[in-house]
Chain A
């Protein structure tokens, strides 16, 4: 396909779709880092029942993955 054709095929919704995909992918990486930081902190300072805070990090990362998958499905 020639460059003009490619440019003509780009739609506003297409741009929104790609932007949202990238944003959610970056956010999922951020959520992964957050989860790892929680694990590092709970190693640095061990507390009773700190599994609760580790689970919060895991759920947040899981939520980020779910939203990313939803974006792939619905957009």
Chain B
């Protein structure tokens, strides 16, 4: 099936952003990305995750936690345990650290923001027992603001985009995303195109 003319126009306006790799934090028109409630013919224009720098804190903490078994021996309750127990406690600790790292990684990996040619999609993954997918049509976007504050955000070029909508979810927060200005500009362009489409009728 050929690409809709409106999508072609968006593709020309957006250009190529980021990479298609599995761990990308920004990609335009990513290959092989889709979501459960995606309509037929709906195209993912932007695929966004938080900037990788947000992971530095937990990665450092996990590295420190991994080194802890080497000092366990200095603490009496552990030192008094038989060898077999010490072995299992150490293994258990590594298991706990791997679980902590995986949960944190999943929190970053599955916290996804998408902009399609029809709507914005916010996949919230707060912890392993909570997930929520919210959507709002492009035509329902009322206001958009971009925020980049602090030394880290300025240095690494990331920030947040806040989108007010008339949809069931009144505000979408694209937090700590790379190139927030560019993302904001693209969404604004898409709002303009949507308005133009409304006036002229859908261009197939």
Contact = CB atoms under 8 A, between A and B. Distances in A.
Pair from one complex: yes
Interface of A: 13, 16-17, 20, 23-24, 27, 30-31, 33-34, 37-38, 40-41, 43-50, 52-53, 56-57, 60, 63-64, 67, 70-71, 74-75
Determine chain A's interface SS by DSSP, over half rule: helix
A49 B22 contact: yes
Contacts of B102: 34, 56-57, 60
Contacts of B201: none
Interface of B: 20, 22, 30-36, 81-82, 84-85, 87-89, 91-92, 95-96, 98-99, 102-103, 105-106, 109-110, 112, 123, 125, 128-129, 131, 133
Nearest to B77: A16
A67 B92 contact: yes
Contact of B35 (A38, A44, A50, A63): A44
B87 A70 contact: yes
